Structures are given as C-alpha cells and as structure tokens.
Structure 1
Amino acid sequence: MSERTVVIGSSVGLHARPAALFVQAAAAQPVPVTIGKPGGEPVDARSILSVLGLDAKGGEEVVLRADGEGAEAALDALETVLATDHDA
C-alpha cells in the first residue's frame, strides 16, 4: 500500500468545487484511494459526501492511501489536485 501526506492548497479547503474536482480525479484512478486526516479514519476518496465530511481546511494535512498497480501514479495525480488552489 502506498501512502502520502499532502497539504491542502485550496484556500477554502476541501469544500464545494475543490472537493468535487478531487472526487472526480479519484474516481478516474485505476486503483482504490482513501483520504483522511492524520490519525483519523480514512474514507473513500470517490465519495463526495465522505470527502466533505472530513471538514478539511486549507493548509491542513491529509493522508492519501492507494493500493494496487499504479498506486504511486494515482497518488501523484491526486496530490497535484489537492495542492492546487482552485479558487485563486
């Protein structure tokens, strides 16, 4: 299993548009991906309600996990989405 800690770049955190963009990117990955706050319970990165429920704010860290062939590439793609401020 691959794991990566990422700082949320969006000034509004994982809410509305940034969350939707992240969930779409996660759904496009060939492997299952979870997201969670450090020390918290991970949730399915393809579920908009679960991602919104994290209440992750801009500048906070989240932990991405992926398992299977292509996991590192999936984490690379999702890290780029999370690190970008889509509201700027």
Structure 2
Amino acid sequence: KENNWGYDWLPKWDQTYDVIKYFNMMDEGKVTGYFCQGFNPVASFPDKNKVVSCLSKLKYMVVIDPLVTETSTFWQNHGESNDVD
C-alpha cells in the first residue's frame, strides 16, 4: 500500500463520459482505439451511418463477442463476392 497500488500514476477522467460523447470524440479524432465487448453500437444507435463513420476513423478496434455482429463486420466490403478459384 506504500504507493496506493499505483492508483496515483493512472490517468484520471476530467469529466463524465457516456457512450454518445465517446462516439463524438471518435468523430473528432480525440479517440483512436476502441474495445467493444458485448455491445453492438452499429445496430444499437439510431444513426447507423454516423456510428460507422466514427468507427472508420479509429486506428484500431477490438470486438469481443461470441456472435458476429454488424459492428464486428462493418469494415468488410459490401456487395457480391466472387471466388476466383
């Protein structure tokens, strides 16, 4: 307990952040990475295009979900796929 378990070294939140504010920060380039666990924001928010636009600006995203979701596959090209073999 001499160093308070390193708590004083960790960065602290300067204000309350909700998920909407977090996506706005992605849109502004203030957030560059996202860990998405058990949540499907592409299907959960009313403006799907804005969410996809925000996610597209990230440098990385990790999706932890037992199911394939719209969020985990938003980056894939849409449309017909033809196998060349």
- Fold shared by both chains (TM-score > 0.5): no
The structure that has the greater radius of gyration is: 2
Greater percentage in strand: 1
Q: TM-score of the superposition, structure 2-length normalised?
A: 0.28
